[in-house]
Amino acid sequence: MTSRFSFVRGLLAAVAVACSAGASAQEPRTEYRMSLTDVYGAYQSILARREACASAFPQTRAAGDKAYAAWQNRHRKLLDELDQRINMMIRGASKDEKDYAKNIGKYEGAILRQREEVKQALLQQPRGELEPECRGLPDFLQNAESDLEKGFADQLAILRKRPLARR
């Protein structure tokens, strides 16, 4: 599974580097950050692929949207957890609330830019290579290959050693 998402392995690199710059003495490139990068990057790669396919092959959009909504519903708890862990990482790299507010916008913008770059890279592929991938997106989202809990069990075990902040 991880190889399927390897083209976006660096998706959170900008966030991790920026966060570790603010907290380098505390926690540079840790196993936790790398695991979060892997899992969150896989999620972002699914979003980028969905967006690229909808753009390149609008006739596949309805099926892709339906399959994505079902996938997102199945993964809701994990996606919420990942968002919370990203926010915790950013908060840990921030000096105070004002710095946190600034950093949230900066890092979310970096994630969106990176996802757009991945989308554009997908759209640069020859149409004959991209089309089968896009036509297969609904099946991919419905099968075990897209199950982040199973595909990233080792990384999630590392992440879950660190408790989430209480809301």
Q: What is the mean pLDDT of each run of 10 residues along the chain (167 residues)?
A: 42 45 50 93 94 95 96 97 92 92 91 93 95 95 95 96 83
pLDDT of residue 30: 86
Helix (H, G, I), strand (E, B) or coil at 85: helix
- Answer yes or no: are the C-beta atoms of 72 and 79 closer than 8 Å: yes
- Selection from 27, 155, 6 nearest residue 88 by Cα: 27
pLDDT of residue 13: 47
pLDDT of residue 167: 61
pLDDT of residue 80: 96
- Selection from 50, 28, 27 nearest residue 115 by Cα: 50
Cβ contacts of 137 within 8 Å, gap of 6 or more? 49, 50, 53, 60, 63, 64, 67
pLDDT of residue 165: 76
Residue with tokens 């809301």: 167
